[in-house]
A and B are shown apart, each in its own frame.
Chain A
Amino acid sequence: MSHYNPDKLEAQSQAKAPIHDQAYFSRLRRKLRWQMMFAYLTPLILVSVVFHLQYNTTLREGIDNHLKSIADHQRNIVDLYLRERVSNLRSALRFGAHSIIGDRVDMRKLLADLQQESPAFEDVGLFDDSGKLIAYAGPHKSLIGKNYRQETWWQRLHGQKGTHLISDVYLGFRRRPHFIIAVRHRLHGKQWTLRASVDPKRFSEFVRSSYMIKTADALIVNAQGKRQTIQPPNGTSSEIIGVPQRTRHCQVKEATFHGRKYVTAYAWLEAHNWVLVVRVDKSAAYTPLRRATYYLFGAVLVAVLLIVVLVIRNSSRMVGKLEQADLARADLRGQLFHAAKLASVGEMAAGVAHEINNPLAIIYEETGMMKDSLDPQFAQKVDLDDFSERLNAIEEAALRGRSVTRKLLAFAREHESGTEPTKLNLLLKRALKVKDTEFKVSNIETTLNLAPDLPEVEINRNQLDQVVLNLLNNAKDAIGEGGHITLRTRSGKGRVCFDIQDTGCGMTPDQLEKAFFPFYTTKEVGKGTGLGLSISYGIVSSMGGSIEVDSDIGRGTTFTVSLPQADPVDDETNKNLEKNK
């Protein structure tokens, strides 16, 4: 036995076509929009984010490296500056050695020479072995004669191997912040120490003088993080800055000073245990970064808006076209339905005409007989009882004719749209009645095997009538002369099904496959349109049902139509009620 389900083919060839439905298209439009937006926007946003992150990192590294190189450069300059100052002092002490020995040191000239080298030198003092300031030039003359033996710098200078020293900033005897550079030199068995103090203001100016970022601030702190340069406009010199471990290379960190964030580069000096700190206000440092972010965001926003507009416009246009096509298709489908209906009406009309001929023949013969009775040539007696019997027969025949035409009219009634809850058993019985005479004269017996309490189906009766009559016609044609047609109904799983089984010639698998194709027919030319099954399939599909067919060549064919049950909730309740009973 071969089995065929046209839905499988349908599913392969095209998506199941819904009947034209406004809500469906709104849904489709919405879905299409979301999908298109997702498809277009996701890559855009992804690329933008990745680009932004990458660009951000690169730019940040660039800025950091720039700052680092500035700090490195500046550190070298400051190193050089300090070394130069030490070497200035050292050569002053050496070259001035003769005069020192002769106790005729011209300190004023010495200071002038030093100041010629660097104006940052504030004063200069010469100390003997005991740590006493023996000669001095500069603004603090009162320092002459003081003994510095107990001063930290003195102790450090003489306690170390090296012959020079740079101190941190301190107040000292003069009670003013300054730092000193001191060198010592042994001459004729005596230790001479030359000390110059450096004006921190000048030094600070120097440190700040040559960096390249306008908003940057450069300062120097000692190993404890104490500030060694003066902040330009009344800054707090008491500020303590966290200093990283000494490294050869410059380090860049983000740090907060006084509640503001800075990008800070730390470079340890080689000449002294100081750290050069170059810091830039973070917001100022990353301005290009922010600007780039704004540009990118703006560009992405414009692109997004453009895409959204295009997507909305295009999806509307596409769905509009689809909608039009669907309307045209629905229209065509309606026309096809109607054409097929007309064709089957034509086929039926032929059958019905035959059925009218029989009562007409009775009427004709009865009236003829009555005329004969009245005809003198036949010399019949007029028997009124006989007449009334004949008139009854005529009336009966006329009524018979009327019932035939009524059936035809009921079938050919203009296509009514709209569905209604229908009792399938009743519909099948009625359809069978239409074909009753036709079956009888072809010696086709029929069996109705109907399930009691069958749930109703929500369908268009007219259309389902057409389907059932089509299937009955096919069964009759497959049988030809003498056979059996069984109609069965059953329900379950929210579906209501009916079978139309015939004992006809059956179909080959090949015929079975083509059975639902439009214009495919095995009937003689002019006998069938080949539309019956394809139209039936269309109708049943539009009702949300399915048609399946089982056929066994030489044994017969069974068509099974499955329809969705009307309002299953109500039915469920009914069943429950019945159970409770």
Chain B
Amino acid sequence: MKLNMVQAINLALKQEMEKDSSIILLGEDIGKNGGVFRVTEGLWQQFGDERVIDTPLAELGIVGTSIGLAISGMKPVAEIQFDGFTPPALDQIISHVGRIRNRSRGRFHLQMVIRFPSGGGIRALEHHSEIMDTYLCHIAGIKVVVPATPNDAKGLLISAIRDKDPVIFMEPKKVYRAIKEEVPEEEYTIPIGEAKVREGDDVTVIAWGAMVKTVNEAREKIGDKYSVETINLRSLKPLDTNAVVKSVKKTGRAVIVQEGPRTLGFAAELIALINEKAFLSLEAPIKRVTGFDVPTPLPKLENYYLPSVDKVVNAIEDVMRF
């Protein structure tokens, strides 16, 4: 069946909830309203108030009580309404979510998912277009997953729900309805920590989330000029280091496309990884295309900030011509 990402996530939630009655959804406006992006549409009607739960408007409370719910034997899938509203919940994520298994030496673990729409490109207000991956990836004990396509989203979310460790699931909201593709109706999983590679020979372009679509468009624009290998990371933590290293060893060139601000962004970690594991294969310095170290601009300037197809094409040209 052809689905967009919203529909794919909705289907994953529905199918998992049908199978496992300990899965509950909690968040703001996710019940009768079906979520501000309609991701949970129809689920309240199907599963009722006890399993699709509108909570008070309190992100710390949503994540903090999810910890207790998980310890009690439930499997909470919490929604934070927007990326820019995750900071209040970061206290609980940093101080507790990532530490419970370790702190209790394995007596307790958190089978829980925290999902939220992520990133820019939808002409939204301040705090509605943020990229949180750098903050989150620094936290031990959690997993950070970013689907790029409807297919990714369904398989990764099912894996996340079944994972015995807490998973942050960042949904690129620009892609929510931008791509429709064939998604299997039956349940399937995509292992967390496995990147998806589209093969090429000349240059490796690494991206995740909404930037995968941008990179694919750049690849089309370049056409036959260069043979571009693209890596959709799908999971930042754990990271598929082998896929990155293997690819760069083959191509000798790398471009990394990152939506968020440059300094200490995930691209920097990838460059360090390539330096450690594939330095001698490099034919050119690694190039990164990123947002700037400024507050995410409002829509009138947003397109100057977000990595664009042209910027990616130029970066590929640069590393190829070096």
Q: Tell whether A pairs with B.
A: no
B interface list, Cβ under 8 A from A: none
Q: Which residues on A are within 8 Å of B, measured CB to CB?
A: none
